Structure 1
């Protein structure tokens, strides 16, 4: 049981690092696209990018990155179940 807890703690730490890296990368890509799509008719560049990033914060893509936590834990649960109860 202690070994499983150590494994889960290690996996949680790795998933957190991956989540942070994916979040920063995705936000950086979104910022770059917003600056490339900006035209002077859209107003100030900083305001345009800020509004675009605010919309990104509420987007589905941002929420899908949380799958970094969900998928591995579900996979571990299925493996443990199949190993012990099949």
Structure 2
């Protein structure tokens, strides 16, 4: 049981670091895309306001929520492996 707790803690730390990195990179990519879109197409109004509005839309988007799969997918895989090994 101690080994499982140790594995769980280490896995949680690694997944949290991965989640933070993916979140930062995703937000940076969205910002870059919005900046490029404004430079190429919009060029009217306040650039910073346009980018902030786009980032608010990104925060509520499905793409942002899919990053949470970093926690879900490994848990499902590990749970499936444990079930198959112990019950089949």
| TM-score normalized with structure 1 length | 0.95
Alpha-carbon deviation of 1:85?
A: 1.1
RMSD over equivalenced CA pairs, Å: 0.7
Q: Residue 21 of structure 1 corresponds to which residue in structure 2?
A: 21
* Structure 1 alignment gaps of length 5 or more: none
Corresponding residue of 1:76 = 78
The runs of at least 4 consecutive aligned structure 1 residues that moved more than 2 Å come to none
Q: Any gaps of 5 or more consecutive residues in structure 2?
A: none
The aligned counterpart of 1:61 is: 63
Give me the whole-angstrom Cα distance separating, in 2, the residues matched to 1:27 and 1:3: 36
Scaled by the length of structure 2, what TM-score is found?
A: 0.93
- Per the TM alignment, residue 83 of structure 1 is displaced from its structure 2 partner at its CA by 1.1
* 1:2 alignment partner in structure 2: 2
Q: Distance in 2 between matches of 1:81 and 1:17?
A: 27
